[in-house]
Structure 1
Amino acid sequence: MAKITLKSSPMKTIALFLVASVFCKLVFAQQTVIQYLSGTDKDHTVKWDFMCTKGRNSGKWSTIPVPSCWETQGFGSYNYSQDTQNPDEQGLYKYNFKVAPQHKGKKIVIVFDASMTDTEVKINGRSAGPIHQGAFYQFKYDITSLVQFEKFNLLEVTVSKKSTNASINRAERKSDFWLFGGIFRPVYLEILPATAIERVAIDAKASGDFNMQVFTNATTKQTVQAQVYDLKGKAVDKPFQLLVGDTMLRHHFTNIQLWNPEQPILYNVVVSIKDGDKTIHTIKQRFGFRTAELREQDGFYVNGQKVIFKGVCRHSEWPETGRTLSRSVHLMDIAAMKDMNMNAVRMSHYPPDKEFLDLCDSVGLFVLDELTGWQAAYDTTIARKLVKELVIRDVNHPSVVIWDNGNEGGWNRAVDGDYAWYDPQKRHVIHPWERFNGTNTKHYPDFKYIQNEVANAKEVFFPTEFMHGLFDGGHGAALEDFWSEMTKHPHFAGGFLWALHDEGLVRADWHDSIDVAGNRGPDGIVGPHREKEGSYYTIKELWSPVYIDSKSATQNFKSSFEIENRYFYTDLKQVKFEWKLVDFQKPWQTGTSVKVLQKGTLQGPSLAPGQKGMLDLPLPGNAKADALYLTAFTAKGDTICTWSWAGSSPKTIANAIPTVFLKTDVSAKEDAQALALTFDGLTYYFDKTTGYLQKVNNGQKEISLSGGPALAGSSQKLSQFKSFKQGDEYVVKPTYSGDSLQVTWTFRKGRLPRLEYSYLTKDTADYMGITFNYPEEKIKGMKWMGRGPYHVWKNRLKGPQFGVWEKAYNNTITGENWKYPEFKGWHSEMNWVKLQNEESDFTIYTDQQNIYFQMLQPEKAKASGNNNTNPAFPGNTIGFMHAISAIGTKFQKAEVMGPQSQKNGRQGSVPLTGALYFDFR
C-alpha cells in the first residue's frame, strides 16, 4: 500500500486513522494480502542471515540477499551439469518477521516461488510441513497455527543442493545447465480470510464459452460469483455464479476478442465468495479467450487457425545472478524474440518465473511449459507431485499452449495423463525429442532427415530443438534451406532453435570473468548479457511475417515488389512501410556517411494471412542512388524487417574514382630478385621469384601488403615474370605453371593501379578467390561499402544490410568473448574496403558484383571439440572471393545441412574473373 503522510490536527489525524482502519479491515476481509519476506527479484532483495556448510565462505554466519543463488553471492561451489564439487552443500537461512495483529483469525500461508533443491521450513522452531523436493516449483505451507502476532517470528530454512530422492538428482542435478543452490525466487505470505478461494483454473474458449473451476472452502449457504472485465476495467456482460451441484462456473460470452501472439487481448475475471450481500473473499485472475489444439496428421491450431511455431529455447539465467532474474531481464529476452519475428518460446528445461509467463501473455508469445527431466525422469511419486505444482501455477496463462513432460528421455510416462487432472483446457502433452502423442519433435535433424520426414509425413512435425547454435554455427546458418524444406511438410508446426542466449556465469574465482562451461553453454543467438550475434539478423529476415524476395529489386530499382503475408491473424493493411533512397560517402569524400535523397511511407496492401500480392512503391522515375532501403513496421511502430539493395554497381563507383593529378611517368628499377615501379609518388615492389606484390611505399610510409595475388587454397609456381611498357601504361604479368591463375597489373600515370585476374577451378572447393598478406598486428580497423556489419557464411547470407560500415579490430571468438560484430571473417557484396592500419590507410576497390571480402581468419574456439564450427579459410590473409565456406553446428558438419552448405562446385571451362584498384595515397 502507498505510504501516506498526513498534516492536520491530532483529532483529525485520529479520525482519519479510524476511517483508514475501517477501510483496511474491509479490504483485508475481501482480498488476499501479500506480505513479502524476501525481495521480489535480483534487483530488489532483502538480507537474511545465512551460512553455507561447504565451499567458499562456508562454516560461518553472515548475510545473503534473498532471492539469490548462493554461488553468485560468494558462497559454496560452482557446478555445471554435474554436482562434482560438494554435492551435499547446504544453505542455512534465518529471518525474523512480524505479522500485523489485525490479521488474527486469518489464514496465513507461506509461499516459496522456488528453492533449490530440498527445502525444510520451520516457523518458531516448529516444522511448517514436509521437506519440499524439486528445484523449480512453487510450494506452500499453511502456517496459521505457527505464527505469533505480538512479537517477531523466526523463519528457519535449510536448503540442500543434493536431494534425498535419487530421481531428483538424476533429473535436475545431472542436467545440461548451471546447477545452483538457494532460495532463488521470492518468499512471501498470503494472508486470506478463513473462508477463501484457494485458486481457479480457467478454460476460456475461442467460441466464447467460459468454464472455470473454483477451489474454495465456502459453505453451501454461500455463493461464488464472477464478473469479467476488460483491461480498462469495463464490465463484459453480466455477473454469473456457481450453480448448485456444479463444479464449474460457466458462462457464454459474445463479442469477445481472442488472444493470439499478434493481438494478445486479455481480460480479468473477479471471483468472489458472497454471503448474502457481504463479500467474504475476492480474487482477480487474468486470462485470454483462446483454444489451442493439436489435430493429428494435420497441425497445431490456435483459435481454429493452423499456426507455425517460430520459436527458441530459453534458459532462465543471468551472468551475475544465476537463476534469479527480474522483470527487466524477462522483457529484454521477450523483446529480442519478438524483434527476431519469433512467436513462440520453449521453457527449457524447467518452468520459468511466473512473471515471465505474465509477460508472454501480455506481449504475445506461444509457450511450451516444461517439467524438468533432462535425459532422466523423476520417479512417479515425485513426478506426480511436481506436475500438479507446475500445472496449478501456470494453468491460466493463455500463452501456455503445450505441456512438455520432461526432455530427451526424461519422460515419466506414468504421469502423461496427470496434466489433464489440473488443466480444464486439456492442453496437449508432448515428449520433446520423441515421436509421441501424434507429434514428432525430433532434435537436431540433418537435412536428409527433413527431406525424408516431408516425403513420409505422419505425425505433426515440429523439432523442439534444432539448428544448434554452438559458437557461430547453427541458428541462422542453413536455416533458410531447413525452413524452406520443413514448410513443405503437410503437418508442419514449426520448430524451436537451441538456444536464446549463451549460458555464461560471472565467477568470482575467475576474477569475475565469464564461464560458459567449455562448449556446453555458448550456444545462444545472443551472448550472456544478450549481445547480438550475426544469426540474430538472419533469423529476423527469414522469419519475417512480411515476406519480400530480396532478389526482387535490381539496380534499376523496381517500384513493384512481390509480397506475401506470413502472419496468422494480421492483415497486411495494418503494416506500415517506409522507403529511402540514399547515397553513401565514398573513400575519397568527407562528410556524413549516409545522405537520404528521398523517402516516403505507405500502408501495406490488404492481404489476408497466407495471401500474396504486390507492393507498389512511389519511387521517382529513373531513381539514382547508392541504395534503396525498405522497412516494414507493425501498427505499434516496431520494426518487422528492413530490406536493402545496392543501386550503384561496383564498376560505376570504381570509374568515379578521382584522377590522380600527379603526372610523373612510370619508372622501373629491377634486378634478378625484385622489380620496383615508381610513379605519382608511390613505389610498388614485386618479388620476381614469386610474382607477388612485396610491399608499397607511399613516399612517407612503407605499407606491408604482400604475398599476392595468390590463388586461394592453391600452391603456385612461377614460370615466367614479365614487365614491360605498353603505350602510356606499364604492365606486370607473372605467369604460373600448372595453375589456372592469370594475373595482369596495369600502371598508368594519373590512374590507380589495376589488377586483373582470372582462374579456373578443377574440383569442388570451400572457397574461391585471391588473397594477399597483411600483418594482423598492424591492422586497426576496416571501413567498407557492402553488406554488414556482421560477417557471413555461405549458408548464412541473409540479415546484413547494404551500406557503408566501419569497425575496429577485435579478435572475438563467437561464444567465448562477446565484442560483436566480429572483425574477422567473410563480408559479402563488397564494393570497396579501406584497411585502417598503423602504417598508412589504403583502399581497395572492385569492379565486380557479389565479391566477398576476407578479413583475416577467425580463430577456432578453444572448446569446440571438433571442426564443425571452424570452416576452412585460405590462411590468415585478406582476400577477394567469388565463393566462401559454409559453417556447421555442434552436432553436424556443414555438408549435411542442405544445398547452401555444400562446397562450391567446379566451373567448367569458363574462368572466374575480377579486377581490383589499389589506392595507397
Structure 2
Amino acid sequence: MLNRGLSVYLFPFFNFSEKHPGKALSALKSLHSSTMKIGKDPEMVPGRNRPHRLCLTGFRLVYSVPEPFGRARPPLFINFIHTDMIRRLLLLSFLTVFALASWAQTSETVYLSGTDKDNTVRWDFFCTEGQNSGKWTTIPVPSCWESQGFGNYNYGQDKEKSSEKGLYKHKFTVPNSWKNKKINIVFEGSMTDTEVKINGRLAGAKHQGAFYRFEYDITRLLKFGKENLLEVKVEKMSSNKSVNKAERNADYWIFGGIFRPVYLTAHPKTHIQRVAIDAQANGDFTVDVFTERARKGSSVKAQVKSLDGRNIGEPFTAKVEGRNPKVRLSAKIPNVKPWNPEFPQRYKVEVALSDNGKTKHVINQKFGFRTVEVRKGDGVYVNDEKIIFKGVNRHCAYPTSGRTTSPEIDIMDINLMKDMNMNSVRMSHYPPDAHFLDACDSLGLFVLDELAGWQDNYDTEIGKKLVKEMVIRDVNHPSIILWDNGNEKGWNTELDGEFAKYDPQERKVLHPMALHDGMDTQHYKDYAYGIGAFENSKDIYFPTEFLHGLYDGGHGAGLDDHWESVLKHPNAAGGFLWVFADEGVVRTDEGGRVDTHMNYAPDGIVGPYREKEASYYTIREVWTPVHFPVTYLSPSFKGKLKVENRFTYTNLNQCDVEWKLLRYPSPSAKNGKTVEKRGAKATFKDFEPGTAGFLNLDLPNDFAQYDALTISVKDPHGREVISRTWPIQFASELSEKALAKASSDAVNATTEGENIILNSGEVKAVFSAKDGTLLNIENAKGSIPFKNGPKLTLETKVKSVKSFEKDGNQIVEALFEKGFASVRWTMLPGGALELEYDIKDTKGRFDMMGVSWDFPEDPNVTVKWLGKGPYRVWKNRLKGPQFGLWEKEYNNTITGVDWNYPEFKGYHSELYWAKISLGEQSFTVYSKTDGVYLRLYTPALPEKPAHTKAAFPEGNISLMHAIPAVGTKFHPSDELGPQGRKNVHNTWRPYQKSVIGKFVFDFRSSNKKSL
C-alpha cells in the first residue's frame, strides 16, 4: 500500500510515493525541465494546520493540503507538456512502477481525457451538422462542442431543436501488467445518448441521460501492451422521448459532447466495487461494502481515520455471507466531531477486503458524521439543530465552456455563496460535477442533489437506472442532506422509493414546486401566500425557488420582508433563490458575444463571469449570522450595540470583531484621504446561537468628532460575515462642517424681462420669474448645464414668484397652489445657492416623491459622493450598500446584459453630499435633510423587462424623498411584501403634513473652502 505521506502521481502511466517533497520535486524537474510551467491549481484547497501532500495527477504536480477548511487559497502546480520524450519515458517507467505497486492491490485510474475545462486532451472529432461539420478534425475533451465552434446552439425552450451528432476517436495503450485486473471505462457525463466501442466492438448498451456517471467493463475488449482504439458516438437528442422531455425541453442551454472526464479504472479481480456510508452525529457508523468475486468467508475490515491518517477508534470487521456481494459493518466511533456547514469536519474510512489473511483490495472514502431529520410540522434538523436554509440554485456552467467546468470554478462559486452568508445550494436541474460536491463537503454547504427533470420526467425504466447512477456516485457526501426527484412537475412518483435502495441514510425525497409529504416547496409564491402558509398550515414551508432574479429585480429585492417573516414562524425552513449566476454563453457563431437568450437566463445574483450585482450585497447583509438591528446611531450612542446570533452552530465568542472610526475629506479637498482610527481586535462574550445581547465597544472619548463607525465581524475561520458602517453625524451637521465659514462677497439681484438674476463672486444664477425654476448657472469657467428645476414628481401649480433681500442674502421665492407649498432659492455671499422647499400633504399612494433637474447624459460624467454606495437601491432593496465615500464613472449598464458593475444610473441612498463633474465643470450639492436619495439618470430598459421596470422622474438629476420598489420576473413589487408597496405619506412620514427639503449647491470653479 502507498504510505500516507507525500505522494507523486505522474499520470497516466505511473504512481509512486516519496517521504521527502524536495527529493521528489527535484527528481521530476530533472526529467525535462524545459517543459515545466508554473500556475495556480484550482483542484486543491489548502486548509489550516494539516500535513502537506505533493502529488502529480496527469501531467500536473500539485502541492496542497488534504483538508480544505476556511477560505480557499489555491496552491502552485506544475504542468508537463506532452512531448515524445516524456511519452517514451512514461511508457518505459510504466511496467517497473506497476510491478512495484501491484502487491498493494489498490485500484488505479488513468485519464484518457483531461480532468476539467482547463486541462484537456485532444481527440479526433467529426460533427454531423452545424458549425465546422462534415469533416474530421480534433476537439478538446472534456468540452461542449458548441463552445469549441462545432454544431448548433440551442436553448431548451427553443421550438426547433438541434440534433447533431458527434463522433470521437482516441487511441490509448494499457500495460501487460493489467491482464489480471478488471478494466472499466468511466464517463462522468456525456450529452446525451452515448455509444462506446473499443477496437470496433460495443462496450455495452447505449447510455441515455446526460448528467450521470456510467461505466463499462471493457477487459475482454482490450489489447494489452498494444494500442487500442476508443470510438464514441454522442447524439445530442436522445432516442428516448422521456429523456428529451426531462433534459432537453428545459429552461437552460442545451449542449452536446463529452463534457466531463473519461478515464480507465483497473481493479483486482476480487475487489470492492463501492461503499455506502451512514455516519450519524453521535458516532454511530455503518458502511455497506459492495464486493465483486469475494468468496464466502472473506473478511472485510474498516478503520475510521482522520484525514491526516490518525486512527479514530478501533478497526471492525464482518464476513462475506454466501453469494451476497454486500457486507454491512457497524461500529460506535468515539469522540467524533460532527459535520456541518459552519464546521465542515470530515473523516475517511479505510476498507480492506481479505481472503485467508491476504489483502485483496483496499479503498479509502471520505465522509462526515451528521444526522438529518425531517420533523413533521416543524422543519429540517441536522445534528439536532433546526436549519433555516439560506440557499441558492446553481447551474454547472461557464460562458466559455458551457457545462464543462473545473474545481477552480467550483471553489470560486462556493466562496461567493459563503461570502453572501449562504449555508446551502440546490443543484439545478441535474446532478453536478463530483468535484463540486467535494468542495461543498470541504468548505461547508448543505446540498439538495437533483435528478434531472424540468417540468417533465423520465419514464420509469430509464429513471430507475439514472437514480441508481446518481445516488451511488453521491451517497457518501455529507453535504447532501435531501434528494430532489425532478423539478416543477418533472418528478416521476414511481421513482421515489428508488433513492433509498442505494442510500442507507434514507434521506428524504422532495418534489420541488409541490406540496408533498408535509413539505411545501412551491415556487414563486407571493408574500401573502407565504404568510398564509405560515399562519394557516402546519406543513413545512420550504420554497426550492423564490424571488426570481430577472435583471435587477428579485433576489435582494423583497428578501428582507420575506426573511423577517421566515424568522417569526415555526414551520419556516428558509428557501433557495433563483439563481446564482446569469447563464450567459459565449457564442462562437456570433463573434463571441455573451448570449443570455433574451430574458430567459439573465437571472443571476452574479454575472456569467461572476460579476457581483447589487443584490449580492443585499443578500449578504440580510443573511448575516451576526445581525445588528440598529438602523442609525442616535446622539445617546456611547458604544453599546445590540447584536443577535443567527448562526446555527457557532457561539459568537468564537468570532473576531474589529472596529474603526472614520473622518472623510471635504468635497473641495485636493487628494483628500479618509482618516481612520482603528480599535483593538475584540471578541464577543458568550452568545449561543439564537440568543441576543450587546456588544460593548471601548470607543475613545472623542469618537463623536468622527464622521462614521465601521464594525466588521469574522467567523472562526477568518471569513468576514458582516461589515457595517453607520454615520455618526446627521446630514445637516456634516454639511455645516463642510460648508464652514461664509464669504464676504456681496450678493446682487437684477431683473431682465421674465428672468431674475442673482450673482455673488464668480457665480451667476438665472431664475424664471414665472415659476422660480433655475434656468442657467455660470461660474468663471462658463455655463454649468444644470437647469430646469426643481421639478416636482407630483403635479404643481404656481401661485406667485417674488425676489427680495433678507439679512444680506438674495432670495427668489415661489408660492404654489398645488404640489409645493413653496420653493425658496437663497444666494449666500460667495455664490452658494441654498434651496428649501415645502411639499404639501400628499394623499393616496405614489411611486416616488422628489425634485429633478436637467443635466446632460454624457459619457464623461462622473460622481463622487458621501452616502451609501457604490450600488444603487430600490425601496424594497435598501440593505447592502454601505455608508462611505464613493466615486464612479458613467456607464449605461443594463443589469444582466452588460455586467459593468456597479451601475452608474439609478437611486443612491443616504446622501450627505455629491460632487457631479462633466469635463472641467463640476458642482457639489450638500444635503441638510436626512434620508435623501440621489438619483442619477434613468437606466436603459432590457428586453422584455417583465415586472423589473420601475418608475423614474423626469429630468436626469434628482433629490428624492421616496423611491419606487422593483419586482421580479413573475411578480410586481407590491406582491413581494410591505417594502414593495407604493409610498403612502402618512406612514412614510408620520405626523408630518408636508415634506421639507433643504440643500446647498456650490457652483464655484475654485476650491476655496469658504462660501
Deviations 1:272-310 (A, max 9, x none): 111234221111100011111111112101111111111
Corresponding position of 1:189? 264
Q: What is the CA deviation profile of residues 656-681 of structure 1, one whole-angstrom value per residue up to 9, with x for unaligned ones? A: 23568864422334322322222111
Post-superposition CA distance 1:721-776 (Å, at most 9, x none): 21122341111112333333410111121362111111022332111111111111
1:236 aligns with 2:312: yes
Aligned counterpart, 2:295:
219
Secondary structure at 1:822's aligned position in 2?
Answer: coil
CA RMSD of aligned residues (A): 1.9
Summarize deviations over 1:213-235 as a string: whole Å, max 9, x none: 11112112421111111011101
The equivalent residue for 1:539 is 619
Note if 1:846 corresponds to 2:922.
no
Matching residue's letter, 1:637: G
What's the offset of the Cα at 1:906? Answer: 2.5
- Conservation of the 8 A alpha-carbon contact between 1:454 and 1:488: no
Comparing 109-118 with 304-313, greater Cα deviation is found at: 304-313
1:752/1:103 Cα in 2 relative to 1: closer, same or farther (>3 Å)?
same
Match of 1:647 in 2: 728
**2:974 is matched with which residue?**
895
1:298 is aligned, of 373, 378, 383, to: 378
Say if 2:820 is the partner of 1:740: yes
Alignment partners' CA distance in 2, 1:146 and 1:393? 25
Equivalence for 1:110: 185
Residue of 785, 794, 798 corresponding to 1:704: 785
Q: What is the distance in 2 between the residues matched to 1:39 and 1:124? A: 21
Change (3 A) 1:603 1:353: same
When structure 1 is superposed on structure 2, of 417-426 and 149-158 the one drifting more is: 149-158
State the Cα deviation string for residues 841-865 of structure 1 (Å, max 9, x = none). Answer: 110001111111111111221232x
* 1:32 aligns with one of 94, 98, 107: 107
What is the CA–CA distance in structure 1 between the aligned matches of 2:103 and 2:189, rounded to whole Å? 26
Q: Describe how 1:159-198 pairs up with structure 2 within 5 A.
A: 159-198=234-273
Identify the residue that residue 324 of structure 1 maps to in structure 2. Answer: 404
**TM superposition score normalised by structure 1:** 0.96
1:827 is aligned to 908
CA contact (8 A) 1:118 1:131 kept: yes
Per-residue deviation at 1:104?
Answer: 1.4
Contact 1:78 1:85 in 2 (8 A): no
Listed one character per residue, the Cα deviations across residues 588-611 of structure 1 (whole Å, up to 9, x for unaligned) are 223443211242221111111111
1:729-878 mapped onto 2 (5 Å cutoff): 729-750=809-830, 752-760=832-840, 761-777=842-858, 780-864=861-945, 866=946, 868-878=947-957
**Does the CA-based 8 Å contact 1:702-1:839 persist in structure 2?**
no
CA contact 1:442–1:464 (8 Å) conserved in 2: yes
Deviations 1:171-222 (A, max 9, x none): 1110000000000000000011111111110001112111111111211242
Q: Alignment partner of 1:452: what SS?
A: helix
The one-letter code sitting in structure 1 at the alignment partner of 2:948 is T
The yes-or-no answer on 1:635 pairing with 2:741 is no
Is the contact between residue 583 and residue 596 of structure 1 (CA under 8 Å) also seen in structure 2? yes
Q: Does 1:333 align with 2:416?
A: no
Map 1:505-654 → 2, pairs under 5 A: 505-551=585-631, 553-555=633-635, 557-623=637-703, 624-654=705-735
Residue 55 of structure 1 corresponds to 130
Counterpart of 2:519 in structure 1 is 439
1:356 aligns with 2:356: no
Q: 1:138 to 1:19 in 2, by over 3 A?
A: closer
- Alignment correspondent of 1:376: 456
Report the CA distance between 1:613 and its aligned residue. 1.5
Q: Aligned partner of 1:496: which letter?
A: F
Report whether the alignment pairs 1:916 with 2:1007.
Answer: no
User: Aligned to 2:558, which of 455, 474, 478?
Assistant: 478
Correspondence for 1:11: none
Are 1:74 and 2:74 an aligned pair? no
| Deviation for aligned residue 1:419 | 0.2
Distance 2:670 2:245 in 1: 64
Cα deviation, 1:473-492, whole Å, max 9, x if unaligned, reads 11111111111112233222
The question of whether the paired residues in 1 share the 8 Å contact of 2:659 and 2:711 is answered with yes
CA distance, structure 1, for counterparts of residue 257 and residue 801 of structure 2: 74
Distance in 2 separating the partners of 1:657 and 1:490: 50
SS of the counterpart of 2:667?
A: coil
Alpha-carbon distance in structure 2 between the residues aligned to 1:93 and 1:555? 73
Q: Do the aligned partners of 1:274 and 1:281 also contact (CA within 8 Å) in 2?
A: yes
Amino acid at match of 2:545: E
How far has the Cα of 1:33 moved from its partner?
0.5
| Match status 1:720 vs 2:768 | no
Deviations 1:293-334 (A, max 9, x none): 111112101111111111000011000000000011001110
**What is the count of residue pairs matched by the alignment?**
911
SS at match of 1:777: coil
Q: Give the whole-Å Cα distance in 2 for the aligned partners of 1:28 and 1:522.
A: 55
| CA 1:918–1:188: 2 relative to 1, 3 Å | same
Give the secondary-structure state (helix, strand or coil) at the position aligned to 1:643. Answer: strand
TM-aligned CA deviation for residue 839 of structure 1: 5.0
Matching residue's letter, 2:446: F
CA contact (8 A) 2:859 2:890 kept: no
* Structure 1 contact 663–680 (Cα < 8 Å) conserved: no
| Contact 2:666/2:672, CA 8 A, preserved across alignment | no
Residues 344-392 of structure 1 deviation map (CA, whole Å, 9 limit, x = unaligned): 0000000000000001001100000000000000000011110000000
Secondary structure of the residue that 1:508 maps to in structure 2? coil
Identity %: 48
C-alpha distance in 2, partners of 1:652/1:661?
16
- Contact 2:659–2:679, Cα closer than 8 Å, also in 1: yes
CA 1:831–1:909: 2 relative to 1, 3 Å: closer
Per-residue deviation, 1:61: 0.7
The answer to which of 498-507 and 618-627 deviates more is 618-627
CA-CA distance at 1:622 after TM superposition = 4.5
For 1:611 and 1:301, how far apart are their aligned partners in 2? 18
Match in the other structure for 1:269: 349
Say if 1:781 and 1:837, in contact at 8 Å, map to a contact too.
Answer: yes
| Amino acid aligned to 2:441 | D
Partner of residue 84, structure 2 = none
Q: Once the two structures are superposed, what CA deviation does each residue of 1:128-164 show, in whole Å capped at 9, x if it has no partner?
A: 0000000100000000000111321110000001100
Of residues 453-462 and 376-385 in structure 1, the stretch that sits farther from structure 2 once superposed is 453-462
| 1:252-283 CA distance string (max 9 Å, x none) | 11111111111111001111111234221111
The aligned amino acid for 2:212 is: Y
Aligned residue type for 2:424: A
SS in 2 for 1:528: coil
Q: 242-251 vs 749-758, which deviates more?
A: 242-251
CA–CA separation in structure 2 for the residues paired with 1:644 and 1:145:
68
Worse overlay, 687-696 or 228-237: 687-696
Q: Which deviates more, 325-334 or 239-248? A: 239-248
Evaluate the alpha carbon distance shift between residue 437 and residue 649 of structure 1 in structure 2; reply closer, same or farther with a 3 A threshold: same
C-alpha deviation, 1:909, in angstroms: 6.2
Deviations 1:30-87 (A, max 9, x none): 2111000000000000000001100111001110000000000000001111365553
Q: Which amino acid aligns with 2:401?
A: T
